[in-house]
Chains A and B, each alone.
Chain A
């Protein structure tokens, strides 16, 4: 299956700072990537769909100015959490879908802790 990497795996930051998370598709070109967040003992909630070369599509309730997504190449999408607050602490996971069978593959996730 497809290999998806994320960096960093863990990050601790102070409230008010910005954090960038990278998601890379290592073995195929991904025109679309998805960003999810997961709170403890809860399932994954889609935040946004990242499209290469165009603006991301955000889910209802997700602030696009707070969670900046850039998909500048077919192998890299980035999520920047701007002016982070403690309530942004969560597990952020990216995924991509591999054609032609539409199988979804996930990165290992990034644990963000905002102090």
Chain B
């Protein structure tokens, strides 16, 4: 049983579109939630971190929200660009200092 899920698994959009990536988690124990970007064959780049006491975080064209009651987080990307093409992973931290549990990722392609 997968604790963290992400929908959709893959997404292809034309450049300039706004888009939403979804992350759901079943275990209500959450310390924080982190969104990452991974380019092919590369490590993970941290995008946004939301503490369990927060509702959202913003960085540039990215906005992440967290709804603990429904077990969901969304990553909103505004005015998408071809350079945004990558796999986006969400990860849930259960407790301070412990490992995060990852979702399977969403592969995003932004077409020029």
**Interface positions of A (Cβ within 8 A of B):** 1, 6, 32, 34, 42-46, 49, 91, 93, 95, 97, 99, 101-109, 111
Contacts and interface: CB of A to CB of B under 8 A. Distances in A.
Contacts, number: 56
B41 A44 contact: no
Interface stretch (B12-20, B62-70, B98-106): B98-106
Across the A-B interface, the 5 shortest Cβ-Cβ residue pairs: A108-B43, A106-B44, A109-B43, A43-B104, A106-B43
B89 A103 contact: no
Given A99-B97, A105-B46, A107-B43, 14 more contacts: A32-B97, A43-B102, A45-B102, A49-B98, A101-B32, A102-B31, A102-B32, A102-B96, A104-B34, A104-B46, A106-B36, A106-B44, A108-B42, A108-B43
